[in-house]
Structure formats: structure tokens, C-alpha cells
């Protein structure tokens, strides 16, 4: 498949001298820690993950502790990392490892990939780093390296290109040093062969990189058309009383499943659903948020009610504004609540000064 037999040799040698060796999840064969880091690192930068990873391990030091925890607590420790389906699957996966594998992660990539939330590339990474298995990874960074080095055209998410990349990734696997080779692919993709302005002059693969030879680093991998992303909007009703705000636990599946958000829907319907009467309602500036598959405009409406009334239904909480922003809420809602808490604090200060 490839004309470049020295690909893995050069990459492995480069990783040993110039790659990363001191990340918190490295130098360990513990599949729990490796699995946790791999899930957190999906679509998320290393620097963002490190504090979450450390806090998570303090609270959930092993797979049994995670499996025994309440899903709400897991979600709260994940809040801010985004892509919340990962946290729900993390919890389900821990429970499956305990229930079906006596608390031990299986050592083969295929068995790992059968667990909730573990895709083929993540399964391969765990099999490599925890068990020394010879398995190919193919995450977004690796796709970028392969598309550039071998000048592969076409959107990597398209089925035919995706299959071609998997075949290529398999064919490149070295017979030995699988850990350094796999880490090398990760390090190269995140450190040198970056999305913008790759550092080709420092790259161990530069001599025969086709993208570099053709001057097409910026054009590869072929981008998906962003213009096709659908637009959605949602109204959030910010019900406030005595410095507190009402948050609702969302259903476990769907957007932001299991997290807390203000009740969603047209104001009149939300008030009727909760049996509340508002003294005063006021629309706030909309907030835009991009997801992989769509763009969302949040349209917040601030409604003041007399005092935090008791609600008969489960799943609702009245929280102090400052506390609400750090409860298990999605990132854009946290931003909204912090702005609201800041404005309320300022109003309070002006009242005292006046
Ligand atoms: S030479 Fe440049 S484009 Fe090619 S693999 Fe290396 S960093 Fe990426």
C-alpha cells in the first residue's frame, strides 16, 4: 500500500528523542487511566484535559469507584469539557467493565471496542498503551498526518476515504516499539503537523511528504463544507427569585443529556408547565454556540418570580446564581449564568452605594 517503508522507523526514533514522555497518563500501564485520558482527549486539547483528568482521578480513582458513582456526580465532574455523551458513556462503560469483565478492562482492541463509548481508534490506543498490542489508531490528528504525507484527497469522514485511511494505518504498523510509534503519531499530529502552519522543517517525515512536495499542506485534509451546517435555536427561560435561579435536569439522552439548564421552551408554556407567574420578563442578548453538526442560537429570557416556590416535580433545583454557573451546566449556559451573576452583583453594589 505504501512506498515509504521507513515511515514507522523515522516516526518511532523521533518520538523517543523529541516526543512527549511526561503527560500525567503516560508511564503507566493502568488501562483505567489510559482509557480515561483517551476519552477526555477526544476533540479536546491536552492543556484543557490535564486539570479535569487530575480532579476526576481524585474523586474516581479506579473503575469500580466510577461505576458505583451517581451519574449526576460524574456529569458535574465533566461539566465544561463538552461533548457530554462522552461522560454518560464513560459511566456506562465503567459499569459494563465491572459487570461483564469483573472490573478488568479486556486486553484486545476488538473487545475494548465493544464497550460503550469506545470507538475503534480509542480501543486501539488503550490496547497499545496498556497491553502492548499491535493495533492501529486513526483519530483526527492521525488522519491529518496521513492525508498530508500520502496526499490523500477527499473528506476523511467520507466512507471510501475513511476505509482507505484505515487500510493505510494498518499497513504502516511496525513489528516492534508499538507504543513509541503510536505516541509518535499522536505527538506529530498535535505538535508539528498541526491544522494551521505545520512545522514541516522539524518533521521527521518531511523528506518524502507529498503534501510538502506539492505545497498542499493547507489544502489537505480536504475540508467538509461548513456552509451546510444547519442552524437551530432554543429559548431558555431564566426564572429568578431572591438571587436564585431555577435549573432543570435534562433527560439522559439528547443534547446536553443529564446536565442542568434553565427550562427550555416558549415563556408562556414554561410558566404554565411549572405553575408559575412572572412579575416581569425581559429578553437578553442571544448567544451563539457551534457544535460539530449544527450551530445553536440560545435566546435567553429573564423572568422574575416572587419567591422560589416549591415545585412538585423532581429534576428541578433553585440554586444561588453564583453557584449555578459551576453546577453541572453546559459551557454556554455557564457563560450566561456567570454574566447574569455578575450583573446581579453589580446591581446589588450600586444599591448599597446609592
Ligand atoms: S512534512 Fe509537514 S505536512 Fe508533511 S507530515 Fe510533516 S508536518 Fe505534516
- 123 C-alpha to ligand 1 centroid (Å): 26
pLDDT tens track for 208-238: 999 999 999 999 999 886 666 788 999 999 9
Question: 10 Å Cβ neighbour count for 270?
Answer: 22
Could you tell me where in the chain the CATH 3.90.79.10 domains are found?
228-353
Phi, psi of 295 (to 5 degrees): -115, 140
Q: Poorest-confidence range of 33-47, 94-108, 137-151, 270-284?
A: 270-284
* Average pLDDT of span 152-164: 93
Question: 10 Å Cβ neighbour count for 52?
Answer: 17
* Average pLDDT of span 117-131: 97
Instruction: Among 150, 151, 192, 215, name the best residue to mutate to test ligand 1's pocket (greatest count of ligand atoms within 8 A of Cβ).
Output: 192
- Helix (H, G, I), strand (E, B), or coil: what is residue 318? strand
Could you tell me where in the chain the CATH 1.10.340.30 domains are found?
7-214
Beta bridge partners of 261: 248
What pLDDT is attached to residue 345? 63
| pLDDT of 188 above 90 | yes
Domain 7-214 in CATH 1.10.340.30? The answer is: yes
Q: Is there a catalytic annotation at residue 38?
A: yes
Exposed/middle/buried for residue 134 (C-beta within 10 Å: 0-12, 13-18, 19+):
middle
pLDDT tens track for 241-275: 988 999 999 988 888 988 999 999 989 889 988 88
DSSP letters, 254-296, are STTTT-EE--BS-HHHHHHHHT---SEEEE---EEEE-SS-EE
**pLDDT class of 48 with cuts at 50, 70, 90:** very high
Beta bridge partners of 237: 301
* Average pLDDT of span 4-19: 90
* Model confidence, pTM: 0.72
Kindly state if the Cβ of 152 falls inside 6 Å of ligand 1: no
Nearest to 195 by CA among 264, 161, 133, 147: 147
Phi, psi of 249 (to 5 degrees): -80, 125
Q: Poorest-confidence range of 16-25, 30-39, 140-149, 314-323?
A: 314-323
More confident residue, 176 or 229: 176
Residue of minimum CA distance from atom 8 in ligand 1: 193
**pLDDT class of 1 with cuts at 50, 70, 90:** very low
Strand 295-304 relative to strand 287-290: parallel, antiparallel, unpaired? antiparallel
- 150 C-alpha to ligand 1 centroid (Å): 10
Q: Pull the grid cell for residue 155.
A: 473528506
Kindly state if the Cβ of 217 falls inside 6 Å of ligand 1: yes
Kindly state if the Cβ of 11 falls inside 6 Å of ligand 1: no
Kindly state if the Cβ of 185 falls inside 6 Å of ligand 1: no
DSSP letters, 154-222, are S-TTSHHHHHHHHHHHHHT--SS-HHHHHHHHHHIIIIIS-SSS--GGG-TTGGG-HHHHHT-TTT-SP
Ligand 1: which atom is nearest the Cα of residue 209? 4
**pLDDT class of 349 with cuts at 50, 70, 90:** low
**pLDDT class of 354 with cuts at 50, 70, 90:** very low
**Matching CATH number, 228-353, of 3.30.70.1290, 3.90.79.10, 3.20.20.140, 3.40.50.300:** 3.90.79.10
Determine the Cα–Cα distance for residues 185 and 198; give it in Å rounded to an integer.
14
Mean pLDDT across the chain = 91
- Helix (H, G, I), strand (E, B), or coil: what is residue 245? strand
Amino acid at each position: 500500500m505504501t512506498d515509504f517503508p521507513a515511515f514507522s522507523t523515522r516516526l518511532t526514533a523521533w518520538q523517543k528523542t523529541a516526543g512527549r514522555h511526561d503527560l500525567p497518563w503516560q508511564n503507566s500501564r493502568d488501562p483505567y487511566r489510559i482509557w480515561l485520558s483517551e476519552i477526555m482527549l477526544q476533540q479536546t486539547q491536552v492543556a484543557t484535559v490535564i486539570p479535569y483528568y487530575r480532579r476526576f482521578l481524585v474523586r474516581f480513582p479506579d473503575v469500580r469507584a466510577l461505576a458505583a458513582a451517581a451519574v449526576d456526580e460524574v456529569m458535574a465532574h465533566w461539566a465544561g469539557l463538552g461533548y457530554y455523551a462522552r461522560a454518560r458513556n464513560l459511566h456506562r462503560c465503567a459499569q459494563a467493565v465491572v459487570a461483564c469483565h469483573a472490573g478488568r478492562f479486556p486486553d484486545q482492541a476488538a473487545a475494548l471496542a465493544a464497550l460503550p463509548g469506545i470507538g475503534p481508534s480509542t480501543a486501539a490506543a488503550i490496547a497499545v498503551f496498556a497491553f502492548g498490542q499491535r493495533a492501529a489508531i486513526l483519530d483526527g490528528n492521525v488522519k491529518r498526518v496521513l492525508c498530508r504525507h500520502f496526499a490523500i484527497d477527499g473528506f476523511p469522514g467520507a466512507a471510501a476515504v475513511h476505509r482507505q485511511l484505515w487500510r493505510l494505518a494498518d499497513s504502516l504498523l511496525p513489528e516492534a516499539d508499538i507504543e513509541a510509534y503510536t505516541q509518535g503519531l499522536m505527538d506529530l499530529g498535535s505538535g508539528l503537523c498541526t491544522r494551521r502552519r505545520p512545522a514541516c522543517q522539524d518533521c521527521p517525515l518531511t523528506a518524502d511528504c507529498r503534501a510538502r512536495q506539492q505545497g498542499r499542506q493547507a489544502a489537505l485534509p480536504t475540508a467538509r463544507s461548513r456552509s451546510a451546517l444547519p442552524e437551530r435555536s432554543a429559548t431558555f427561560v431564566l426564572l429568578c427569585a431572591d438571587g436564585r435561579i431555577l435549573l432543570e435536569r435534562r433527560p439522559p439522552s439528547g443534547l446536553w443529556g443529564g446536565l442542568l439548564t434553565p427550562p427550555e421552551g416558549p415563556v408562556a408554556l414554561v410558566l404554565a408547565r411549572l405553575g408559575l407567574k412572572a412579575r416581569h420578563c425581559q429578553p437578553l442578548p442571544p448567544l451563539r454556540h457551534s457544535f460539530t453538526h449544527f450551530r445553536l442560537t440560545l435566546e435567553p429570557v429573564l423572568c422574575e418570580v416572587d419567591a422560589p416556590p416549591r415545585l412538585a416535580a423532581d429534576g428541578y433545583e433553585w440554586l444561588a446564581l453564583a453557584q449555578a454557573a459551576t453546577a453541572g451546566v453546559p459551557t454556554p449556559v455557564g457563560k450566561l449564568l456567570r454574566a447574569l451573576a455578575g450583573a446581579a452583583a453589580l446591581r446589588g453594589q450600586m444599591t448599597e452605594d446609592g
